[in-house]
Amino acid sequence: MLLKLYIVLIFLTTLSLHSRVQAIGVNWGTSASHPLPPSKVVELLKANKISKVKLFDADPTVLESLSGSGIDVTVGIPNSMLKSLNASKKAAESWVHNNLTRYLSDGGGGVKIEYIAVGDEPFLQSYGQQFQPFIVGAVTNIQVALIGAKLANNVKVVVPCNSDAYLSESGLPSKGHFRSEINKTMIELLTFLNKHHSPFFVNIYPFLTLRQNKNISLVFSLFEPTAHSLNDTHKTYKNSFDLSYDTLVTSLSQLGFPEMEIVVGQIGWPTDGAVNASSSIAQTFMKGLVTHLESKMGTPLRPKKPPTETYIFSLLDEDQRSITTGNFERHWGVFTFDGQAKYHFNLGQGSRNLVNAQNVEYLLSRWCVVNNNKDLTDATSKALEACSVADCTALSPGSSCFNISWPGNVSYAFNSYYQQHDQSADSCDFGGLGLITTVDPSVGNCRYIVEIQTSDSVSLNRTPLFWWRLLMPLDLH
Ligand SMILES: *[C@@H]1O[C@H](CO)[C@@H](O)[C@H](O)[C@H]1NC(C)=O
Ligand SMILES: *[C@@H]1O[C@H](CO)[C@@H](O)[C@H](O)[C@H]1NC(C)=O
Ligand SMILES: *[C@@H]1O[C@H](CO)[C@@H](O)[C@H](O)[C@H]1NC(C)=O
Ligand SMILES: *[C@@H]1O[C@H](CO)[C@@H](O)[C@H](O)[C@H]1NC(C)=O
Ligand SMILES: *[C@@H]1O[C@H](CO)[C@@H](O)[C@H](O)[C@H]1NC(C)=O
Ligand SMILES: *[C@@H]1O[C@H](CO)[C@@H](O)[C@H](O)[C@H]1NC(C)=O
Ligand SMILES: *[C@@H]1O[C@H](CO)[C@@H](O)[C@H](O)[C@H]1NC(C)=O
Ligand SMILES: *[C@@H]1O[C@H](CO)[C@@H](O)[C@H](O)[C@H]1NC(C)=O
């Protein structure tokens, strides 16, 4: 009896210790040509004691890999589904049935689904009014479906919003308000969230603010104590995060929801593809952020009430993300595409270094480069062609491979294309200018990658002899 009590006590103590660090999670996106296999990603999460993960869809292989892991999960519904979910209660019911119910009751403990993110930044200014008319109807129908499935007590419905949903013309948080064209829908959404005790999910990007706002300095964005503070009446702002967060707090108050709970759904710093995007700057930002969150000091408008949860954006680099906002979009990962830590901070694992993904299976150690013995007149145009498909973001100004001179940059483009095509021999042709090599062309910080084996590419590599014969003649140039 006493022993039992003791065990319960230990259990409760670990639980409360755990819940203090539990507040940090990660976003796990899968817009990659060769995604790290879900089982490896879950091992990576566990090895680093990451206890919360936010997804952008409800991919069955991803959800199955999370089953029994004990990790809290946010599943996502893409914006493209909002229209049908608004129009039809049946569509919402079948979404819940197909993408939620079966994972919750799955064998091995099931998936601990905590939130459904309905839409992904549907209020984003660049989307115009595309999704806005469907948001409230879609969340309402999903909520009704959850109640019908008796899941409404376990799973909350949320709508991730980019920080461009609100603004302050003067830059002062006390003058914050939502964009006027979303005001009406936002009131309906906040009323819904409030009624169901769901938090407001906001995505805050000090890196983007730095790029857009001349008044903001790099040190202010990085939580550096040396930054000039900004005074707003009697409040003093020491970092860009608090500034944006409190602009949201004022915006919520202005619509009548001063106490609305806030979760930071995405926050991060890219490591490549732009000026001020590097691993060392990202590390400074993350360490500053985590120290700020762990201090529990909150913000000037919500002292001692930090966001209840914060999801780092992002876990891994994704080479298929849209680059309309910039080349940095494919470099948000704390880890590279293949699960290697780019820098270190406390994601849940404490003061030791982050643990890398283990036993990652790669394609063969082969790269495609430009053949210097050929006439290279067309090399640049061939490289540009390759770049229209491949990932050349590391070649842009300020990026890790910007320095490598011509024709090294051509080789970079050729190799990216070749790897994305599973190293098939014909993807290293380029009008006869391509050459397959076993010598890693990487220089300094500029990494010429070898892609991960995916289920599609495995079969190719099960026949090394065939490959060897194919590659030999090219190799011996
Ligand atoms: C949303 O769904 C409702 C109910 O079916 C419908 O009346 C309304 O027209 C829909 N909204 C839009 C913008 O299609
Ligand atoms: C989820 O459910 C809907 C509706 O049943 C379905 O169309 C969709 O493919 C499912 N899967 C994902 C990953 O969303
Ligand atoms: C930038 O700073 C100036 C001077 O302090 C101020 O007048 C202006 O409103 C600020 N603009 C923004 C967008 O913060
Ligand atoms: C938004 O709605 C609130 C509450 O009705 C109102 O006070 C505010 O002036 C509105 N803002 C805009 C920009 O329309
Ligand atoms: C990069 O950081 C420097 C140093 O603070 C700053 O002057 C510059 O404006 C930043 N540039 C961009 C594009 O963010
Ligand atoms: C802001 O206020 C603090 C203390 O109230 C003061 O020390 C600081 O100089 C002020 N900063 C600016 C930029 O006015
Ligand atoms: C790249 O160029 C920058 C200056 O533009 C220089 O500081 C740096 O050392 C160069 N790196 C390499 C690897 O050549
Ligand atoms: C490679 O560098 C050359 C010379 O700087 C430039 O003209 C060309 O556009 C670059 N190619 C790529 C793919 O970046």
The CA-based angle 47-199-60, given to 5 degrees, is 50
Q: Ligand 8: distance of its center to the CA of 385 in Å?
A: 12
**CA-to-CA distance for 430 and 413, rounded, in angstroms?**
11
Structure tokens at 460: 């190719």
If one residue of 86, 130, 188 were mutated to test the ligand 1 pocket, choosing by the most ligand atoms within 8 A of its CB, it would be 86
Nearest-ligand number for the alpha carbon of 99? 2
Task: State residue 93's pLDDT score.
Answer: 98
Q: Ligand 4: distance of its center to the CA of 251 in Å?
A: 10
Q: Relative to the CA of 276, which ligand 5 atom is closest?
A: 1
Query: Which tens digits make up the pLDDT trace of 123-133?
Result: 999 999 999 99
Residue 444 DSSP class = T
Tell me, rounded to whole angstroms, the distance of Cα 131 from its chain centroid: 22
**CA-to-CA distance for 218 and 240, rounded, in angstroms?**
9
Q: Domain residues of the chain, as ranges?
A: 21-335, 367-456
Question: Residues 353, 425: contact at Cβ < 8 Å?
Answer: no
Task: Fold for 21-335, please state it.
Answer: TIM Barrel (3.20.20)
Q: Ligand 1: distance of its center to the CA of 85 in Å?
A: 10
Q: Which residues of 29-47 are buried (b: 16+ CB within 10 A; e: fewer)?
A: bbbbbbbbbbebbbbbbee
Protein residues whose CB sits closer than 6 Å to any atom of ligand 5: 210-211, 217-218, 275-276
Q: Relative to the CA of 83, which ligand 1 atom is closest?
A: 14
Q: Relative to the CA of 214, which ligand 3 atom is closest?
A: 1
Nearest-ligand number for the alpha carbon of 399? 7
Q: Ligand 7: distance of its center to the CA of 20 in Å?
A: 42
Protein residues whose CB sits closer than 6 Å to any atom of ligand 7: 403, 444
Task: State residue 128's pLDDT score.
Answer: 96
Amino acid making up residue 377:
T
If one residue of 275, 285, 325, 396 were mutated to test the ligand 5 pocket, choosing by the most ligand atoms within 8 A of its CB, it would be 275
Task: State residue 104's pLDDT score.
Answer: 87
**CA-to-CA distance for 81 and 85, rounded, in angstroms?**
6
Query: From atom 8 of ligand 3, which residue's Cα is the shortest distance away?
Result: 170
ω into residue 51 within 30 of 0, thus cis?
no
171 touches ligand 3 (CB under 6 Å): yes
Query: Residue 80 — φ and ψ, nearest 5°?
Result: -65, -15
Task: State residue 470's pLDDT score.
Answer: 41
SS3 82: helix
- Burial of residue 70 (number of CB atoms within 10 Å: 0-12, 13-18, 19+): exposed
**CA-to-CA distance for 114 and 152, rounded, in angstroms?**
10
Tell me, rounded to whole angstroms, the distance of Cα 11 from its chain centroid: 32
Taking alpha carbons only, the member of 229, 109, 108 closest to residue 173 is 229
Task: State residue 23's pLDDT score.
Answer: 84
Q: Ligand 1: distance of its center to the CA of 88 in Å?
A: 9
Q: At what angle do helices 408-420 and 379-387 cross, to 10 degrees?
A: 40
387 touches ligand 8 (CB under 6 Å): yes
Task: State residue 18's pLDDT score.
Answer: 40
* Residue showing tokens 């005790």: 197
Nearest-ligand number for the alpha carbon of 238? 6
Within 10 A of 458 (CB to CB), how many other CB atoms are there? Answer: 12
Task: State residue 460's pLDDT score.
Answer: 47
Within 10 A of 208 (CB to CB), how many other CB atoms are there? Answer: 18
Average pLDDT of adjacent 10-residue blocks, the chain of 477 residues: 44 42 85 97 97 97 95 98 98 96 76 97 97 98 97 96 97 98 98 98 98 95 97 96 98 98 98 96 98 96 96 98 96 98 94 96 98 96 96 96 95 98 97 97 96 73 41 37
Query: From atom 8 of ligand 8, which residue's Cα is the shortest distance away?
Result: 380
Task: State residue 49's pLDDT score.
Answer: 96
ω into residue 407 within 30 of 0, thus cis?
yes
Task: State residue 102's pLDDT score.
Answer: 87
**CA-to-CA distance for 321 and 315, rounded, in angstroms?**
14
Q: What is the CA radius of gyration of the chain?
A: 24
Nearest-ligand number for the alpha carbon of 207? 5
**CA-to-CA distance for 73 and 75, rounded, in angstroms?**
6
